[in-house]
Amino acid sequence: MQIVKYQFQQHGDERGSLVALEEFKDIPFEIKRVYYMYDTAKGVTRGYHAHKNLEQILICIHGSCKVKLDNGTEKKIVYLEKPYEGLYVPNNMWREMYDFSDDAVLLVLASEYYIEDDYIRNYDEFLNMLQQNKDK
Ligand code: T46
């Protein structure tokens, strides 16, 4: 499994740093939604689902966290701790986010609006869907 981590351009000067993200330029899709999670309780794992039709970029803009990606055959763990790094998460990818630092803010840029039907929350269902896609 290839992990795609974007390194965004940092505009830094004596005042500090700034990152600007433009759809189709820095981000490979139209950004239809932005959300972020913070104040994550100790020991919590979020996610435990895949999406049928959603691309996302995860940026830990403050603090750190880990993301486990699972494409049904391979699993990889990615550590996010830099506000100028974005992890690309394609559709049909199981994800779990955990080990959030107390100060972690995980920002997500999404290619689609929020659609509950797009979630696959059962791991066996996820594997079945991958198999069905293969059989097509
Ligand atoms: C994902 C990972 C990385 C909304 O109302 N609108 C939204 O756009 C989102 C993302 C969530 N919600 C509501 C639905 C739930 O009542 O916020 C609540 C928490 O969402 P959820 O339990 O899905 O959060 P996570 O952290 O498990 O997953 C989220 C995204 O939902 C998911 O698409 O890929 O972050």
Note the pLDDT tens digit of each residue in 13-69: 999 999 999 999 999 999 999 999 999 999 999 999 999 999 999 999 999 999 999
* 46 C-alpha to ligand 1 centroid (Å): 9
Q: Is the CB of 90 under 6 A from ligand 1?
A: no
Mean pLDDT score of the chain: 97
* 20 C-alpha to ligand 1 centroid (Å): 24
Q: What percent of the chain has pLDDT over 70?
A: 100
Q: Is the CB of 47 under 6 A from ligand 1?
A: yes
Atom of ligand 1 nearest to the CA of 37: 26
Using the predicted structure, report yes or no on whether residue 136 has a pLDDT greater than 90: no
Among 38, 56, 68, 108, residue to substitute to test ligand 1 (most atoms within 8 Å of Cβ): 108
Catalytic residues: 49
Q: Is the CB of 56 under 6 A from ligand 1?
A: yes
3-state secondary structure the chain: CCCCEEECCEEEECCEEEECCCECCCECCCCCEEEEECCCCCCCCEEEEEECCCCEEEEEEECCEEEEEECCCCEEEEEECCCCEEEEECCCCEEEEECCCCCCEEEEEECCCCCHHHEECCHHHHHHHHHHHHHC
Model-level pTM? 0.97
Residues 80-111 have pLDDT tens digits of: 999 999 999 999 999 999 999 999 999 999 99
